[in-house]
């Protein structure tokens, strides 16, 4: 499924756009009524909460231009405790996103125009429990609202953190505070590793590396992943993510890790595309490979030992 193209470097993102995404998120949660406790935030807004800015040790995350949320389809199927989602979205200024050149508007991507030149796209996602569901749309409300199947997205229904977020509502109804339930560290790494492996976007690599660098030390991050692994829940998702991280960021198959597309994408996102900065990007690529390899190695060792990450 085609999505709007994202900026290739961090310079394409700014605080104002990220704050606009928070406004959209808080407004959305209000629109979903009793469903909001089951909604999970994933994607590029999550690093803002996993790695709160604390300069100079933890720089501010680049931000995001969209909002990605995961529905719990089982809860939706079992209950009638919500009004028409499409009506609620439209009442708050959302319209189905119509990609340029597309024959019809999307049912899984909704757009909110904040001004004549500023808008935020919201992606509705669900867990692709079977491989056949991956990348496929599943109707939530007839043809009006649907969700895109994402591999292992279901981990966020169990592995999440809570963050109180206050923002101005889009309809001018004042400010509101909502509890945002977002992917925890392990869930975020799993989903971003899969996303980068599938799409190869600089932004996905940049988000992934930012969180792996600033959410804790390599030992702390590996230990947190091991706690999740030892719960015996979603172990296949963790192993899948490790495989993808190794393929995209680490030495192997006769290729040095820093020359893999993961470190290259992360360095380009962070430092830009100017040819004069090639040397600095190479250093950044080596740093990225070292970081990811360290964490992956610790987790692999912990799994092999059947204990902690060491």
Which pairing describes strands 66-70 and 40-42: parallel, antiparallel, or unpaired? antiparallel
Q: How many residues does the chain have?
A: 310
pLDDT of the residue at 83: 59
**What is the CA 231 to chain-centroid distance, rounded?**
23
63-107 tens-digit pLDDT: 999 999 999 988 777 665 455 788 888 988 899 998 888 888 999
pLDDT of the residue at 179: 97
Structure tokens at 75: 């809860």
Rounded to whole angstroms, how far apart are CA atoms 188 and 266? 16
Enclosing H/E stretch for 46: none
pLDDT of the residue at 183: 99
pLDDT of the residue at 144: 84
* Domain definitions of the chain by residue range: 10-183, 185-305
Q: Is the peptide bond before 275 cis (omega within 30 degrees of 0)?
A: no
Rounded to whole angstroms, how far apart are CA atoms 175 and 260? 45
pLDDT of the residue at 79: 62
pLDDT of the residue at 60: 97
pLDDT of the residue at 195: 97
Q: 45-77: buried (b, 16+ CB within 10 Å) or exposed (e) per residue? A: bbbbbbbeeeeeeeeebbbbbbbbbbbbbebbe
Name residues of the chain where pLDDT drops below 70: 1-4, 78-83, 143, 307-310
Rounded to whole angstroms, how far apart are CA atoms 291 and 218? 7
**What is the CA 226 to chain-centroid distance, rounded?**
21
């Amino acid at each position: 499924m085609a999505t709007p193209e994202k900026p290739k470097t961090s310079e394409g993102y700014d605080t104002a756009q990220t704050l606009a995404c928070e406004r959209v998120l808080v407004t959305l949660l209000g629109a979903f009524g009793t469903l909001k406790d089951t909604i999970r935030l994933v994607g590029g807004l999550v690093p803002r909460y996993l790695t709160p800015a604390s300069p100079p040790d933890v720089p501010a995350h680049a931000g995001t231009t969209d909002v990605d949320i995961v529905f719990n389809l089982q809860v939706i199927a079992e209950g009638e405790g919500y009004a028409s989602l499409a009506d609620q979205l439209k009442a708050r200024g959302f319209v189905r996103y119509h990609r340029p050149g597309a024959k019809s508007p999307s049912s899984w991507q909704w757009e909110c125009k904040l001004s004549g030149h500023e808008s935020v796209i919201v992606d509705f996602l669900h867990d692709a429990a079977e491989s056949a569901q991956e990348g496929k749309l599943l109707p939530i409300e007839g043809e009006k609202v649907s969700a895109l199947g994402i591999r292992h997205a279901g981990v966020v229904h169990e592995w999440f953190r809570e963050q109180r977020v206050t923002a101005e509502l889009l309809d001018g109804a004042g400010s509101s505070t909502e509890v945002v339930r977002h992917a925890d560290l392990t869930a975020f790494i799993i989903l971003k590793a899969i996303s980068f492996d599938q799409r190869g976007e600089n932004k996905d690599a940049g988000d992934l590396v930012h969180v792996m660098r600033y959410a804790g030390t390599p030992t702390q991050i590996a230990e947190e992943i091991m706690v999740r692994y030892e719960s015996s829940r979603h172990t296949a998702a963790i192993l899948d993510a490790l495989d993808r991280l190794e393929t995209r960021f680490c030495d192997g198959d006769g290729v040095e890790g820093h020359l893999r597309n993961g470190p290259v994408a992360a360095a380009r996102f962070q430092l830009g595309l100017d040819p004069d900065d090639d040397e600095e990007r190479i250093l950044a690529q080596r740093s990225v490979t070292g970081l990811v390899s360290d964490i992956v190695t610790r987790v692999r060792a912990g799994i092999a030992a059947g204990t902690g990450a060491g």
